[in-house]
């Protein structure tokens, strides 16, 4: 199972994070919990029409406890080198192997070192160094693991030699970027150029596809889906998508036949695109006219079509705000409304100009975690925030053809923007998202992460 989420910040200034990341500022004030669900019909949705639903104040059934045991999280073990005070090292998870993760270590004892590539093949139970990145730069090192080949990795070494912190945040023009590739799990590396960074990577029959940011090529339009046969010479394969005014946000590759599914944005609207010839031609499946907060994709198995779910949060004056949920089991050709998880949080706030209190009932955004192999949908929602809450996010399951969400556990709260990283093997990683500039859902902060199995 895979997911995309847009829970963070300013979407106009940077590419949207549409994987399962939850902003730390959602519903953290003192609140009283009220649970309400909304029943929706399952009529097919036209591709050009909005999804309509009753507001969340139309109360429905409360979630029922799942018949399976609650999720049990295990804190991932890390070497002491990964938890240096004042430093945060990105950990890259292997999308096709839930047990494998890599870390590029650039600092030891507060001193820069030749970047070391660490790996675990047992979900953090043990770690060891497998190689070194041939970079002399003192700066950040980011890894991107191939979604179909866990031993294929791209690395980006970035430093800002002329950056002056007094002038505000660094810009791409300040960066010195070196790029490297490994096909043996980080043991050996070769230079593949400079000036570009990679957020997603997947390979089919010798051709690799990547979501690349390259400010040296076109600073006004730096983000593209690209392809290569050697991980070095890349060419764009999203020109049809760009001609429509869209920018690729995420992509998925079918390892069986090489079919590519793209999720893109055009202003505030999002689109789906599909290609069966390596990006030479693109077609648009039907798509509900939504601005999704999260998108969950279950990659097809064999000849099965893509299974998809999208969710949107309708923001309005309470009690008229609510979440919407639509799913497709035929690659986006038709869509059905599913019962959204709407949880009302009552917060006491001061009325401007006096000392009286008034109730406020915002709806907590529903963050899709992923679609399981049996078709069940997993979602996380802030359902228990208080001023001292340490685990405000509940995890819920919606079985196929069911109108009842089941509460199956809570997420360990680590602070910051939180990321759920699901796998088709029913393993979930959980940790802190590594910065707004990192677009891959498989990159979280080393030193503070958890895993669990589902169910």
The pLDDT of residue 317: 61
* CB 209, CB 237: distance < 8 Å: yes
* CB 360, CB 352: distance < 8 Å: no
Give me the phi and psi of 116, to 5 degrees please: -100, 135
Q: What is the rounded distance in angstroms from the CA atom of residue 313 to the CA atom of residue 363?
A: 8
320 occurs within a structural domain: yes
The pLDDT of residue 82: 84
Residue whose pair of structure tokens reads 């240096």 in the numeric block: 84
The pLDDT of residue 200: 94
Kindly report each contact of residues 58-63 with a partner whose C-beta sits within 8 Å and lies 24 or more positions away, as own/partner.
Answer: 60/36, 60/339, 61/37, 61/403, 61/404, 62/35, 62/36, 62/37, 63/35, 63/37, 63/341, 63/396, 63/404, 63/405, 63/406, 63/407
Vertex 417: Cα angle to 396 and 455 (nearest 5): 25
Domain that holds residue 405: 2-450
* CB 346, CB 31: distance < 8 Å: yes
The pLDDT of residue 61: 44
For the purposes of burial, counting CB atoms within 10 Å of the CB of 174, is it exposed (0-12), middle (13-18) or buried (19 or more)?
middle
Taking alpha carbons only, the member of 407, 395, 349, 409 closest to residue 20 is: 395
The pLDDT of residue 30: 19
The pLDDT of residue 43: 30
The pLDDT of residue 58: 37
Residue whose pair of structure tokens reads 């693109």 in the numeric block: 282
The pLDDT of residue 56: 39
Vertex 126: Cα angle to 122 and 131 (nearest 5): 100
pLDDT along the chain (455 residues), means of 10: 42 36 30 23 31 38 56 89 79 94 89 91 94 86 94 89 68 79 97 90 97 80 93 94 92 93 85 94 84 80 87 72 88 90 62 48 80 89 70 87 87 77 83 71 86 83
Half-sphere exposure of 60 (CA within 13 A, CB side): 18
Total tally of structural domains belonging to the chain? 1
455 occurs within a structural domain: no
Half-sphere exposure of 117 (CA within 13 A, CB side): 29
User: At 435, which CATH number?
Assistant: 2.130.10
HEC-encoded secondary structure of the chain: CEEEECCCCCCCCCCCCCCCEECCCCCCCCEEEEECCCCCCCCECCCCCCCCCCCCCCCCCCCEECCCCCCCCEECCCCHHHHCCCCCCEEEEECCEEEEEEEEEEEECCEEEEEEEEEECCCCCCCEEEEECCCCCCCEEEEEECCCCCCCEEEEEEECCCCCHHHCCCCHHHCEEEEEEECCCCCCCEEEEECEEEEEEEEECCEEEEEEEECCCCCCCCEEEEEECCCCCCEECCHHHHHCCCEEEEEEECCCCCCEEEEEEECCEEEEEEECCCCCCCECCCCCCCCCCEEEEECCCCCCCCEEEEEEEECCCCCCCEEEEEEECCCCCCCEECCCCCEEEEEEEECCCCCCEEEECCECCCEEEEECCCCCEEEEEECCCCCCCCCCEEEEEECCCCCCCEEEEECCCCCCCEEEEECCCCEEEEEEECCCCCCCCCEEEEEEEEEEECC
Q: Record the tokens describing residue 67, joined without a space.
A: 């018949």
40 occurs within a structural domain: yes
The pLDDT of residue 68: 59
Q: Record the tokens describing residue 71, joined without a space.
A: 């999720």
* CB 2, CB 95: distance < 8 Å: yes
* CB 288, CB 362: distance < 8 Å: no
């Amino acid at each position: 199972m895979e997911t995309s989420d847009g829970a963070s910040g300013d979407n106009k200034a940077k590419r949207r994070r549409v994987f399962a990341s939850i902003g730390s500022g959602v519903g953290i004030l003192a609140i009283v919990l009220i649970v309400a669900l909304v029943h929706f019909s399952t009529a097919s949705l036209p591709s050009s029409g909005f999804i309509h639903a009753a507001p969340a104040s139309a109360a429905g059934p409360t979630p029922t406890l799942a018949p399976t045991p609650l999720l049990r999280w295990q804190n991932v073990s890390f070497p002491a080198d990964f938890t240096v005070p004042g430093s945060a090292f990105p950990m890259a998870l292997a999308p096709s192997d839930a047990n494998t993760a890599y870390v590029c270590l650039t600092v030891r004892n507060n001193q820069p070192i030749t970047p070391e590539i660490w790996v675990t093949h047992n979900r953090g139970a043990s770690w060891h160094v497998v190689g070194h990145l041939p970079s002399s730069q003192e700066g950040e090192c980011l890894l991107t693991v191939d979604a179909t080949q866990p031993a294929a990795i791209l690395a980006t070494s970035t430093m800002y030699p002329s950056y002056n912190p007094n002038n505000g945040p660094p810009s791409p023009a300040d960066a010195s970027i070196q790029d490297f590739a490994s096909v043996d799990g980080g043991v050996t590396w070769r230079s593949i150029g400079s000036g570009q960074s990679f957020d997603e990577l997947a390979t089919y029959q010798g051709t690799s596809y990547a979501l690349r940011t390259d400010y040296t090529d076109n600073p006004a339009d730096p983000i593209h889906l690209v392809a290569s046969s050697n991980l070095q010479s890349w060419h764009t394969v999203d020109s049809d998508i760009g001609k429509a005014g869209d920018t690729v946000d995420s992509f998925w590759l079918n390892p069986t036949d090489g079919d590519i599914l793209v999720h893109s944005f055009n202003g505030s609207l999002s689109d789906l695109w599909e290609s069966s010839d390596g990006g030479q031609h693109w077609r648009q499946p039907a798509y509900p006219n939504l601005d999704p907060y999260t998108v969950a994709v279950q990659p097809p198995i064999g000849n099965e079509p893509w299974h998809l779910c999208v969710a949107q949060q309708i923001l309005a004056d309470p009690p008229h705000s609510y979440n919407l949920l639509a799913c497709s089991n035929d690659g986006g050709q038709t869509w059905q409304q599913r019962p959204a998880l709407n949880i009302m949080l009552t917060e006491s706030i001061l009325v401007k100009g006096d000392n009286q209190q008034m109730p406020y009932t915002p709806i907590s955004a529903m963050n899709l975690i992923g679609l399981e192999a049996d078709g069940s949908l997993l979602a996380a929602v802030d359902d228990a925030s208080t001023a001292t809450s340490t685990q405000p996010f509940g995890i819920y399951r919606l079985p196929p053809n069911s109108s009842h969400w089941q509460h199956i556990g809570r997420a360990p709260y680590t602070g910051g923007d939180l990321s759920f990283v699901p796998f088709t093997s029913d393993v979930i990683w959980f940790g802190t998202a590594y910065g707004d500039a990192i677009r891959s859902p498989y990159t979280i902060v080393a030193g503070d992460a958890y895993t669990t199995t589902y169910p």
